[in-house]
Structure 1
Amino acid sequence: MKKKTVTALLALSLWALAEGSASASGIATANVASRYSECSLVDNGNGTSTASVTIDFNPAENNTNEDIFLSRGLLFNLYDKNGVPQGASSVSASLDGEASQDKEINAGYVLVRGMVGAWDNDQALHARATVNFHNGAMADWPAVFIRAANYVAGQNQVAAMIGGAYITAEANGRCRLVKDPVTPPPFDINITVDAPDWDLGEIDTGMQRIPLDTSQDRLCLKYTDSETSGKPFIINASNQNGMADGRYQLKNLQESSQVIPYELILENGSRQVLLPNNSSASIPLDKGGKTCFSPLFRTFAPKTIQPGDYSDVLTFTVVTPT
């Protein structure tokens, strides 16, 4: 039988789900701000990061919960690995370039405020807010939350009733509005893939096992540990030629009616993923930001198969269970 080859071109489509508590933060609210825009989260390269957001503050009058306005404020929090809001002691901030002069560390967040410049402005205000913090505080959950507030005499803070800006490194100017920091949104999981082309060589009739165990043949997923730690993932793949009887199909490039059914097993040590993954079985990814799989193909060429070149294209998906 002439040599028959399969070429697998891989792509990834990703989405994820995360869990969060539905309880409220318990902070007094008012119409402190109307909009957040131009969000960014930048690693400064010195062990610190800066989160930035432009805030449209409303006039403080009637937005202090019937208390005396003292200054503008920012409520800032990070998250632990379970998505629970956390404060941080090493935080500094600015509003329109004016540095903050005071901070209060509370359960689950930090209040920062100033007393001069934009901080002291009780009129409608379009201001750029920045918060600096140590990268270690964001190691478990790659996002921060900034909420506009008015600092008042009696209750200390009155927060914006619209919520705050939830900011990730991938924000690129986009602000995700979150009503309450206690309920963070699902975070984006960024996975890149090193996807080889696979040549199966000569295929015999009947069931044949074809392992590809060189380093060049491995399929590797790369990601950030904090995004994947402790979470299961479902790996699956669709194919260009369609399936029959629950198996993918290699098609003859010259005669499309000639097909060879096949399955793919991705092996990672003692763990295996059988594709198609009809049962939606999940596996955890390795620590260290990288998981690699060696492919094992099982082909089922009928005795009547014609010689020729056969191929298929696989598109991989990696998702979290719903």
Structure 2
Amino acid sequence: MVSAIGLRVYKIGAHPRRDATPLPLVDKKSGIDVPSYIASFVNQNKTQNKKDSAERSWYFEKMEETKPGCCRGYIHYGTFGFESNFVDGKTKAKKYKRSVTDVEEIPLYFEFWTSNDNRTALAAFQSFQGRSCINILFSDIQEDFEKKTNNILTFKKLLPSDSRGSVYNTAPVKNIKLIKRNAGNDITDTYIETDGTSLVDFEISISAKRKSSLGALSDVYSRFKKSEESALIYDGVEFSEAYAEVRVGNKLRKIGLFGAHGDAGVIDLTGQVKRGINGHPTFDSMKNETKSILDSIYKSIYGAKR
């Protein structure tokens, strides 16, 4: 889903530095207050954080906040460190030469949410055309949290291929697509004769008929064999990427089962969100889609509305 608008959802937790036993999000004994910490971290990072070694930068733009630990807005993610030319796509005229120190920033939607009883905290982060700032953000927030509390802050990606208890396990599957990129003639010649030297992207799509499904996601996933290279094996072919279209809440959504660029667990919102004239998803459309997804996830965990 390199060109997609994606959303990754994480469950936030905490545990002592040398003990993996989970701690409450608000724990007087250990001095932990995760919701208040998140609010403070967002407020303290509203100006550009430059990482020269990674040639990356980021900062928060908070748009809305309902209470500590519940806020949404944009993470402005920047790249720098190389020259490039900006050319008018219509006239082909060169408009600007980007220097090594110029930072190209894109807005990526984010949301932190904590339940009223402080039992659950979730986070959602947007990706744009395969670009995401979660690695650099997680590194900074986890380092800061450990320094201030002497405890570890965790972000567990909610994966559709998790074992029992996954929030996606019971979701009905309408379609599953398996992809093997750069497949050779040993595979393609079974279906179509090639010149023996060309590489192609080989895809298999399996769809359910109208008003039916292929079964629950956990059942569908278990029908495939897994290889040691983290690929799915179907009909003797190893596929390096897999996506499923499942019902999450009241909508069908495309979710990565696994693949390149950390696509596992990424919910594809490309066809769901409205884009502004700047080419990026509008804030309201990202907010509405994220709310629907988080509501559905919370309900699947606790059987109640968020």
| Structure number having the greater helix percentage | 2
Q: TM-score, normalised by structure 1?
A: 0.24
- Greater strand content: 1
Q: With CA pairs under 8 Å and 6+ residues apart, which has the higher RCO, 1 or 2?
A: 1
